[in-house]
Structure 1
Amino acid sequence: MILYSYRGDHDERVPSNVSHVIIEESVTTIKEEAFYNCHSLVSVIMGDSVHTIEFAAFSHCRALQFIRLSKTLKVIGIDAFRDCRSLNALFLPSTVNVIQGWSFQYCRSLRFLILPDDFNLSHVGNMIIRGTPIHQFAEAAGIGYEFDYPEATDGISPRINEWLFRHMDESPFHKGCYDSSITTRKVNDYLNEHGKASAFAVDAIHGMTPLHILAMNPYASADTIAALHISNTQAALSADNQGKTTLEYARDNNVGGMVEILMELCNHKNAAIPIEDTHSSQLGRLCCLPIPRLFHSCFQNDESKDPEPE
């Protein structure tokens, strides 16, 4: 693992062999092409002072799997995340009000992206999700891009952008769990109003429960994830339509949430809560480990992790 602290200096270019980045709290703008073609970059944690991501800042970071955006982010520039092929989900804070053209084009793993509730669609550029699984979801709904090379024809990007804005409206709890401002109180209020059965709902596009999405949300507190998990304990070990469990999403996106889920599962291991046989032996092994060993086990496939000391 090679850690780098980005300061936002003029013409600062991040070395291509860097794997993990922390963007300092003093940074307000990520400069154009600052991380361009950082082929080893896996994870980025962004300070909450960043307002703007400039042209192609993270373009061609093909190993990038996780990025926690600034809670005050406003502008995502042209080609900002183009060809980030390993990025599965991107959680946009509600402050984002401009997404320029081609910003997520060819992110070939990007399955999850929702525009903020009050987003002005006139501030979304052309073909932002072209070549992504989200684009395929839109095409399955009968909405796609038509081309008058090199740009989409007038009226087509607005249609698909409208779909992107609305496509999770039929799953309001899932959409709420995506929100950067999600809190334990909001989760409990929704469950009290709509009943605990709402925690078991599966959305039609991703095959996910609300807990799957909340576990992916890097802004969600561990307590908030625990509150929803208590309402649907079985969801932690239930797979979505990609074969991934809530526990796996938490491991990759929200380690605090992962610990809370594991602790709750361990507490109920011998209780009368059904756990599928395919997961029970693995859960039993995890529950018997002290926390340092538990973390090592959950990340044992991460070759960049230093070996645990004897």
Structure 2
Amino acid sequence: MKPDSLIYVAGHRGLVGSALIRRLEKQGYGNFLTRTSKELDLRDQAQVEQFFKDNKPEYVFLAAAKVGGILANATYPADFLRDNLLIQTNVIDAAYRHDAEKLLFLGSSCIYPKLAPQPMTEDCLLSGPLEPTNEWYAIAKISGLKMCAAYKRQYGFNAISVMPTNLYGPNDNYDLENSHVVPALMRKCHEAKEAGESFLEVWGTGAPRREFLYVDDMADACIHLMNNYDGEQWVNIGVGEDVTIRELAEIISDVVGFEGTLSFNTDKPDGTPQKLLDVGKLHSTGWRSKIGLREGVADTYEWYKEFRTQNG
């Protein structure tokens, strides 16, 4: 990409999309195309076709998707399957037919098999059963990965895919009903501190191990791969290291300044014992994670406090 290349970031207001815009601006890019979902419904083929015909973006970051937690996936399986299939099919196809130079598609490490060997390499995809709680989302995302590979193989379209690990950072979802572990713990710690609580409940034993990547670091990796990788196979994006949920909770409570006791509710489920990505392929392209977990959590907490101030 050149500094004046026309770049379309689909999903620019979400966790990943907003990080891509921040990081692109920091690296000197400034010619962006963005549309809200009200301005452009990516599920509508005619709207997407017209958008690409009128604007002809040179580079496309496809970060738009229908996402949610376990409850949302269980309640709306048809929506998760249909909406994600429509979004990625419409955008990938239109980008190819209107001569985009390159497209990057965002997958997710949660679409690897439930019991994949650790750390998970790229070739373990489809080697075993999916996690039942998000299989509808996973099936759609796997189709997106394969669609990029198929368009590269049949048409020579330069479409690549990435598989990020667990992400956190500004513009994350802090709703306790369906947020992920970092924003949920951050909000609970903040509210417990404000209320002067003496202890904070954490679900499970605290023993499961998880890998966490600051979203701006992930965006930096995506830009690096857009400029330096053209392979057909997707690329894992992560740090290559994990921590226990207990260690994560201790880091977050320390950053927030919560001085009470962490209480682990062992009646609640732990989930998969470990989820860690093999990032050897990513490292071979010359990119490594730069932002440590404590630094990323601290930056995110500063954003969260400002968000609370502005939104009550």
Q: Does TM-score exceed 0.5, indicating one fold?
A: no
Higher helix share goes to which structure? 2
**Bigger relative CO (Cα 8 Å, ≥ 6 apart):** 2
Structure 2-normalised TM-score? 0.29
Structure number with the higher strand fraction is 2
TM-score by length of 1: 0.29
